[in-house]
Structure 1
């Protein structure tokens, strides 16, 4: 079951973060102030999907990788504290701050400074999660590849 949960939860988490990032960038670049307020208001509600998906991906990944001594597993394991720390320390507080500021109609220098930080931190997490997905797919291919018989 863990082998099924891990890729689904990981993909859901990555797609959720990508949707947050793209909706923010597109609304800021091409949308109205009303659209920005809507996007900034909805992103914290998306945590109801993101947080369980990240927890399921992390927990199942830990279980899957527990017995492995593959260098790719080690690399994936090293990325996870960065991803989690970035999310807990920068991304979640930023999203809550930006939601509050947007709902108050306060698009000041503080809003845009935090918005820039959030976009950079989000891009970092998207990159790291994408690398973890790539490495996970490599691991899956290695495990399922047919073994050649020695003649």
Structure 2
């Protein structure tokens, strides 16, 4: 079961964060203030999908890596395992609080210096998590043979 759930949960988590990030950038750059308010108030509801997806991806990945002893993929397993604490920490310590603060401020129409400072931090942290999750996906695809290893 973890073998089937892991790639689905990981892809869902990555796509969810990517959707949050893209919606934020597009609403800020191209949309009226009402679009920003809508995006910022919907993102916390998306956590209902994102948090379980990350938990399933992390838990199933940990379970799958326990039985893995092949030297050919051990480096990828170790790399994925090392990235996960950073992904979790950025999510729990930066992204979740930032999205909640931004939702409250957006609903109140408080587009002030604090809003944009938190927004900038959220966008940078989100980009880092997208990159880390993307690296984990790449390594997972290489481990399963769905993506060829990079040639030297």
SS state at 2:144 partner: helix
Q: CA deviation at 1:2?
A: 1.0
Bigger Cα Rg: 1
Q: Which position in structure 2 is the counterpart of 1:49? A: 49
Aligned length: 142
SS state at 2:145 partner: helix
**TM-score, structure 2 as length reference:** 0.92
Q: Which position in structure 1 is the counterpart of 2:143? A: 139
SS state at 2:88 partner: helix
2 CA distance for matches of 1:91 and 1:27? 18
Q: CA deviation at 1:68?
A: 2.2
Q: 1:101 aligns with which of 89, 94, 105?
A: 105
**TM-score, structure 1 as length reference:** 0.92
Q: 1:85 aligns with which of 70, 84, 89?
A: 89
Q: Which position in structure 2 is the counterpart of 1:35? A: 35
SS state at 1:80 partner: helix
2 CA distance for matches of 1:67 and 1:121? 32
Q: Which position in structure 2 is the counterpart of 1:21? A: 21
Q: CA deviation at 1:123?
A: 0.1
Structure 1's consecutive aligned runs of 4 or more residues displaced over 4 angstroms after TM superposition are: none
1 CA distance for matches of 2:108 and 2:39? 14
Q: CA deviation at 1:66?
A: 1.0
2 CA distance for matches of 1:58 and 1:72? 15
1 CA distance for matches of 2:44 and 2:107? 13
1 CA distance for matches of 2:66 and 2:123? 33
Gapped regions of structure 1 (runs ≥ 5)? 143-151
Q: Which deviations, in whole Å up to 9, do the C-alpha atoms of 1:70-127 show, x marking residues without a partner?
A: 0110000000000000000000000000000000000000000000000000000000
SS state at 1:141 partner: coil
